[in-house]
Amino acid sequence: MPIAIGGVPLAGLLSSRMPELSRQVISTLLAELGIYRTLPEEEIGGEITWVVEDNLRLVAAMLREHQVPDLSRLAASARRRAEEGCRWKPCSAPTTSARTSPGPR
């Protein structure tokens, strides 16, 4: 059974509003994460937009199929970013992640 809001399948709603949602995510990234404002416009309109749209497509696929889709393209993009290194953040900036903590015991 599809996950729906008001009888409308969420995967279809997400897919049909992809361009609008992508613009909103990019706008939020630019407004809230200063590092994105330092990137060239062609990168924002290129790879960054592609990554956002691909993530939205993955979420829609998970909602539609009720399973995790192939994440290899997304992993390849993340790997490229990691290889680029300091371009995304100051080299001396500490990195933290909620996933690195084992959490409460």
pLDDT, mean of each 10-residue run, the chain (105 residues): 86 92 95 89 90 90 86 80 59 40 38
Q: What is the pLDDT of residue 47?
A: 86
Q: What is the pLDDT of residue 100?
A: 37
Q: What is the pLDDT of residue 95?
A: 43
Q: What is the pLDDT of residue 87?
A: 54
Q: How far apart are CA 80 and CA 66, in angstroms?
A: 29
DSSP state of 70: -
- Whole-model pTM: value is 0.68
Neighbours of 101 (CB within 10 A): 8
Q: What is the pLDDT of residue 90?
A: 45
Q: What is the pLDDT of residue 16?
A: 92
Q: What is the pLDDT of residue 69?
A: 79
CA distances to 18, 74, 89 from 56, rounded to whole Å, are 7, 11, 24
Domain segments of the chain as ranges: 9-76
